[in-house]
Amino acid sequence: METTILENQQIVEETKQDKIVEETNPQEKEYQSQQLEIQQPHQSHQVSSLKKKNTSVDYKYICIKKDQFDISMVYLNYLSLQQKKFIEIIYKSPSVFLDGLFFKTPLISHKDIIIYYKDSKYNSLNNPTLKILLNYKEHSAFINILRSIDEYISNYINKYSTEIENNLQTYYNDYRSLLNFNYEQIIKFKYNNIIELHMKSYLEPSMITKIETNKDTINYNFTFNISNIYFSNNNNLLPLVKCNKCEVIT
């Protein structure tokens, strides 16, 4: 949708229940409509649907409920190119405003996790990539959500290509045409009905080591967010997918 709609769109009735966000810790209380609280170890913050507030919310503790996800609540904002060289992704429902899309994966078996290092050593400048193997038999609903996001981003870029190119030229002297860019999908289709989700890891190195060394039959839940779309030097449009938290399910 056009970004000006973000400022001018009439918010739908606040009395309508919108249980759109859940906490990744099952022991925490459920979010309520009208006023959502994000529980942290020592404090809580409110998230408003009417405007963004300056908070220090730890997004490792929240995610959008998959059964309540609505693609019409996703907004892209190419005007963010006036400050940074990326297109901002926003999730805006009647009761929550998020800078990015926050999800929890389904249960992922240890055998379906690949840890890829660009270089040989893990350090703060070389966060590994987590490759999560998915299949339609077990993960169809989750895959369809990510596919709908891919389709929305692709359609948006095509619709506003002229405006995006003008911003790139004006603010970055970048005269490349979007026709020359390749959109790197969030969902990577592989062979034998296998699909990969690639996430840049922002987990503690100790958790990465635990995943690598634990060969027992263990499942994992990963909390991740899709925040911005970047323009690479080699003509790729890259959605930034970051893994913020991993839960071990025995």
pLDDT tens for 74-118 read 999 999 999 999 999 999 988 788 899 999 999 999 999 999 887
Nearest to 195 by CA among 230, 150, 248: 150
Mean pLDDT lowest among 1-5, 38-42, 53-57, 114-118: 38-42
pLDDT at 191: 76
Task: Report how far Cα 169 is from the mean position of its chain's Cα atoms.
Answer: 27
Most confidently modeled range among 27-31, 121-125, 225-229: 225-229
Residue with more model confidence, 163 or 19? 163
Q: State the pLDDT confidence band at 37, using cuts at 50, 70 and 90.
A: very low
Q: Give phi and psi for 120, each to the nearest 5.
A: -80, -20
pLDDT at 5: 32
Query: Model confidence over 51-82: pLDDT tens digits?
Result: 444 444 455 557 888 888 999 999 999 999 99
Q: Which residues of 171-198 are buried (b: 16+ CB within 10 A; e: fewer)?
A: eeeeeeebeebebbbbbeeeeeeebbbb
pLDDT at 123: 53
Query: Model confidence over 130-152: pLDDT tens digits?
Result: 999 998 888 999 999 999 999 99
pLDDT at 196: 94
CA-to-CA distance for 53 and 103, rounded, in angstroms?
21
pLDDT at 51: 43
* Number of neighbouring beta carbons within 10 Å of residue 63: 23
Q: State the pLDDT confidence band at 12, using cuts at 50, 70 and 90.
A: very low
pLDDT at 2: 36
Q: What mean pLDDT is predicted for residues 193-201? A: 91
Residue with more model confidence, 60 or 236? 236
Query: Do 193 and 70 contact (CB within 8 A), yes or no?
Result: no
pLDDT at 212: 87
Q: What mean pLDDT is predicted for residues 160-184? A: 95
Residue with more model confidence, 141 or 39? 141
Sequence-ordered list of residues with C-beta below 8 angstroms from that of 206, at least 6 positions apart, any chain: none
pLDDT at 43: 29
Mean pLDDT for the chain? 77
Q: What mean pLDDT is predicted for residues 29-50? A: 31
